[in-house]
Amino acid sequence: MKRNLLVTCLIVGSARCVLAQVSPTETAQQKLQRLSDAVVQVQSQVTAYQKQLQFLQEQLAELQSQLDAKPEAKPSSSPADTSTSASLGELRERQAIAESQIATHEQAKVESESKYPLRVSGLILFNAFINTRRVDDPIDPTYALNGSGTTGMSIRQTILGLQATGPHLLGATSHADLNIDFFGNGSQQTYGGSGLVRLRTAHASLRWKSTEAFFSLDRPLLAPNMPTSLVSTAQPNLAWSGDLWTWNPQAGVKQEIAIRTNQHLQLEGAVIDVQDPRLPNSTATASFSLAQRSRWPGLESRLGYAMGDRDTGFRVGVGQYFSPHRTLEGYRFNAWAASADLRLPLGRHVQITSNAYRGAGLGGLGGGGYVDYVYPINAADTARPLNNAGGWVQASIRRNDRLQFNGGFGIDAPFAADVRSASSSQAASYPGLTRNRAAYGNVIVSPSSYLQLSLEYRRLWSNYLVGPTRTSDAIGVAAGYRF
């Protein structure tokens, strides 16, 4: 059937070509002679094609019989046979991949109302944990408490995301993304949780060659680095132990200024709406934050220098933050911070990463032991922002894309003088931590681009206004599937 169809196509095609060349001035006899010559020519071509087709079929049948023969029936194979088998195997594999891609393409597609590209991604994350002493959240702990430990499993740190590319505007490309997990509840915007869906981060931006205008829900500009962990994704590994990590609404501009090839300055500035800090599993006392009560947005900025690869090259920067606050009683205070960040590659496989800060009223950014301000006992009608300092450092060893080792230490230390000013032998109004430290080490193995496994050990040291230092060892195992 296929052979007859091929012959028919050839005859019809050749006949059309001949008819196209017929001159309107030719006589009927000349036209008949031309068509007869064309038929003879087509018949000769068809005969040649049939011979070639028969030859190819015979060669294919012979090759297929060789491949279907059992390996033990051949005492030895020539290099040519081995090469042929390998080539055919590779072709079959490519064919299977192509068929799978075609089938996927024919499935129902994710489509946005604007018809612009929309991509779905995520991390299905399972983790098992052992905590030797009581902690704030057994799945992803940040500080130690007095009490017995816990053991369990969870999939609450699973992350789902959407990424979109939109239209061009004023010469810029537009981008947006959003990520959610299952680690929050209605009373806690950025941490804790009873297991409900939680908005993690969101970004929307216009990007020119060297400029970006954006609004987002993300960590502050003055703390761009983040510890590496697969076990702790709901909150960064050193949250409340030196990492100013909390996700807050921001809107700003980023500018890069080229100095030399692969070297540039980074200028970033934004307004920020900082949330109030709350201990995990506590409830909200108001529907507005102290920063919102001041009726002025916070300001943040960062000046940085970068060299080499954008994701792994050398980077250093300094930042600042300022935000007016107003308490429920009407007392005003200003939260502020100065920061420094560093990413230092040491050869091809080792990298040092660090953030450090000094400031006051930093509970809304993830510092100060969950406290923004204190009421000094001997000072009437005033609220004082809690001074504190902290930071963290991490060393990473990446052998290749499949294996990496990470270890780090962080500390957040409110000033003792401020804590003492809010307490005495008769009264104690300081509710938070007086110091919090954490150290960790982990190994992350990636058998493929979409599968990840990790084992992690973490040690927590937490100090309170009264009582000894409380500690807990946290051992975690994680398995993740990215899509």
Q: Could you say which residues of the chain have pLDDT below 50?
A: 1-24, 70, 72-77, 79-80, 105-108, 186-189, 426
Are 81 and 66 in contact, with CB atoms under 8 Å apart?
yes
Coil, strand or helix at 58: helix
Residues 6+ apart with CB under 8 A from 184: 190, 191, 192, 193, 196, 197, 198, 199
Q: What is the pLDDT of residue 233?
A: 94
User: pTM of this prediction?
Assistant: 0.75
Query: What is residue 58's predicted lDDT score, i.e. its pLDDT?
Result: 75
10 Å CB burial of residue 443 (0-12, 13-18, 19+) is middle
Note the pLDDT of residue 427: 52
What pLDDT is recorded for position 287? 78
Q: Is 71 helix (H, G, I), strand (E, B) or coil?
A: helix
The DSSP result for 223-278, as a single string, is: -------SS--SS-TTBTTTB----EEEEEEEEEEEEETTEEEEEEEEEE-PPPP-
CB 161 within 8 A of CB 125: no
Contact 358, 242 (CB under 8 A): no
Per-residue confidence (pLDDT) for residue 75, from 0 to 100: 45
Whose structure tokens read 């590209």? Answer: 117
Alpha-carbon torsion, ordered 413, 345, 226, 472, to 10 deg: -60
What does the CA dihedral 65, 66, 68, 74 come to, rounded to 10 degrees? 140
> Which tokens hold the place of 133?
């002493």
Which tens digit of pLDDT belongs to each residue from 111-122?
667 678 889 999
* Contact call for residues 440 and 456 (beta carbons, < 8 A): yes
Q: Residue 93: what residue type?
A: E
Domains along the chain with CATH numbers: 2-69+85-106 (no CATH), 118-482 (2.40.160.10)
Q: C-alpha distances in angstroms, 64 versus 46, 67, 187, 244, 373?
A: 27, 5, 68, 65, 81
Question: For residue 467, which of 417, 428, 422 has the smallest C-alpha distance?
Answer: 428
Whole-angstrom Cα Rg for the chain? 34
- CA distances 344 to 59, 309, 352, 427, Å, are 61, 12, 5, 47
